[in-house]
């Protein structure tokens, strides 16, 4: 009898464990389904800053700029978390928060967005074009490929829905993340001179090194403009629970930090101690990037990596083309401009046309375009950061949006970004 009761108890325990497992699995799936704005953030961030700039950082300076990746994430954290948090608390985008400061803030935001949006779009598009060159082997120039890509993205956004971008991002980020992490660990199979990797000639007093640091931090993990984009995306796809919103942001934010380190390490292990220099052209760099992965994973992974890299950059291109017109739509509305201008479709056409003109007549190579775009974003970052600080501190209601620690961290971020900008401009 005793054994019989014990058997029943064990069976019940197994059933309980089974149900607990099912509930846990269901909870994980529900969280994954809630992912949207956070992955759009990651999709916009994991592009030029990671595939290009992080790889260049490792290739030129070894491990030393891992510190820059970590510090950039820490100092920019309060501003990036403000986007989704403000949208959840106020049910409005950060554009509304800027408008509450005053009309002058909206005009500043509009000017900054127009100043940066063409360079941002051009930079991500030309990198995507380089990968298309590598994939197709066609003799078209990167500018011609860029035009084709831009028009394709424009058509998708004009005839499609937000859900298309949402689903695409989940697949793209999973494929790229797995490929990058596997390549990262495989890169340690060979004998690595860790002492040499940590010994770099990098110096803030060197003009070239300082310029690269500025271009690196400018888009690491992303330009501060994404704080505003993220707040809009949260409203486009609202999460059911605030906990899901927090989970969504953390996946995107911490994921970009880890992937940034992975790309830097891959660049360091493959190129830092070699005589190979990274190509300035989009097509040449794309070939080198693919070779870095193939050298660590094997030739059988060529098409997996190539397609993953292309889809990542394509998703970044389409994400930027989606986000910046959304910002200008709201800005135009707050400015009370002509009704035709108060449309994201209008700004999509303007952004596409302006980017094409920039790529056709003013850009010689990918490196030049990326450096210019990231520098502009870096120099405008202190202004955007300060405006975000003004939004939080309006009417002394900072507690709901920033913790005391986040508030102090934001002030530190504004100071550091401002000092570095002044140093760069002066010296």
Please say if the pLDDT value at position 19 is more than 80. no
Look at residue 28 and tell me if it is in a domain.
no
pLDDT tens digits, 137-183: 887 888 899 999 999 999 988 887 556 656 666 677 777 788 888 88
Q: How far apart are alpha carbons 218 and 72 in whole angstroms? A: 9
pLDDT tens digits, 231-279: 988 887 654 444 455 676 777 788 889 999 999 999 898 888 777 777 8
Look at residue 133 and tell me if it is in a domain.
yes
Please say if the pLDDT value at position 73 is more than 90. yes
* Six-digit token string for 3: 């054994």
Residue 354: is it exposed, middle or buried by C-beta count within 10 angstroms (0-12/13-18/19+)?
middle
| Of the candidates 305, 277, 275, the residue with the CA atom closest to the CA atom of residue 290 | 305
Q: Based on the structure, what is the number of domains in the chain?
A: 1
Average pLDDT score, the chain? 82
Overall residue count recorded for the chain in this entry: 427
pLDDT for 114: 92
CATH number at residue 101: 1.20.1740.10
Quick one: pLDDT band at residue 388, thresholds 50, 70, 90?
very high
C-alpha distances in Å from residue 412, one per residue of 71, 77, 236, 383: 11, 11, 32, 14
Look at residue 126 and tell me if it is in a domain.
yes
Look at residue 153 and tell me if it is in a domain.
yes
Please say if the pLDDT value at position 10 is more than 80. no
Look at residue 146 and tell me if it is in a domain.
yes
Contacts of 96 (CB under 8 A, 6+ apart): 90, 330, 334
* Between 420 and 137, residue with greater pLDDT: 420
Look at residue 205 and tell me if it is in a domain.
yes
pTM of the model: 0.84
Contact 390, 105 (CB under 8 A): yes
pLDDT for 347: 94
Quick one: pLDDT band at residue 299, thresholds 50, 70, 90?
confident
Contact 349, 340 (CB under 8 A): no
pLDDT for 30: 45
Eight-state DSSP code of residue 280? S
Q: How far apart are alpha carbons 226 and 260 in whole angstroms? A: 17
Look at residue 42 and tell me if it is in a domain.
no
**Domain limits for position 345:** 75-426
Other Cβ atoms closer than 10 A to 196 = 13
Look at residue 46 and tell me if it is in a domain.
no
Please say if the pLDDT value at position 66 is more than 90. yes
Q: How far apart are alpha carbons 67 and 187 in whole angstroms? A: 20
> Distance of alpha carbon 285 from its chain centroid, rounded?
20
CA within 13 Å, CB half, 158: 13
pLDDT for 18: 42
């Amino acid at each position: 009898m005793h054994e019989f009761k014990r058997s029943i108890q064990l069976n019940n325990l197994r059933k309980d464990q089974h149900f607990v497992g099912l509930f846990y699995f269901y909870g994980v799936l529900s969280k994954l389904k809630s992912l949207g704005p956070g992955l759009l953030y990651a999709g916009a961030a994991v592009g030029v800053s990671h595939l290009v700039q992080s790889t260049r950082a490792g290739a030129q300076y070894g491990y030393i700029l891992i510190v820059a990746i970590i510090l950039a994430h820490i100092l920019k954290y309060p501003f990036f978390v403000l986007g989704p948090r403000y949208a959840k608390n106020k049910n409005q985008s950060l554009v509304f928060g800027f408008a509450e400061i005053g009309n002058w803030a909206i005009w500043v935001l509009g000017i900054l967005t127009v100043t940066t949006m063409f360079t941002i779009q051009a930079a991500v598009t030309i990198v995507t074009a380089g990968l298309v060159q590598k994939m197709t082997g066609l003799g078209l120039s990167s500018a011609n490929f860029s035009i084709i890509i831009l028009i394709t993205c424009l058509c998708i956004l004009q005839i499609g829905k937000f859900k298309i971008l949402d689903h695409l991002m989940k697949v793209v980020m999973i494929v790229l993340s797995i490929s990058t992490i596997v390549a990262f660990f495989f890169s340690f199979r060979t004998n690595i001179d860790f002492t040499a990797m940590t010994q770099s000639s990098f110096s803030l007093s060197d003009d070239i090194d300082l310029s690269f640091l500025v271009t690196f931090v400018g888009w690491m993990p992303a330009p501060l403009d994404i704080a505003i984009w993220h707040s809009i995306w949260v409203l486009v796809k609202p999460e059911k629970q605030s906990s899901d919103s927090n989970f969504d942001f953390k996946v995107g934010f911490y994921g970009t930090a880890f992937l940034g380190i992975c790309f830097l390490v891959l660049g360091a292990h493959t190129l830092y101690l070699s005589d190979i220099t990274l190509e300035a052209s989009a097509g040449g760099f794309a070939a080198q990037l693919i070779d870095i992965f193939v050298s660590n994973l094997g030739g059988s992974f060529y098409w997996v990596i190539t397609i993953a890299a292309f889809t990542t950059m394509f998703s970044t291109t389409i994400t930027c083309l989606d986000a910046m017109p959304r910002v200008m739509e709201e800005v135009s509305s707050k400015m009370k401009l002509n009704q035709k201008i108060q449309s994201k479709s209008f700004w999509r056409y303007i952004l596409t046309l302006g980017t094409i003109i920039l790529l056709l007549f003013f850009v010689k190579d990918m490196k030049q375009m990326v450096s210019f775009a990231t520098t502009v974003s870096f120099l405008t970052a202190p202004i955007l950061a300060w405006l975000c600080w003004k939004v939080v501190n309006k009417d002394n209601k900072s507690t709901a949006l920033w913790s005391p620690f986040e508030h102090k961290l934001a002030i530190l971020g504004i100071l550091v970004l401002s000092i570095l900008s002044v140093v760069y401009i002066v010296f």
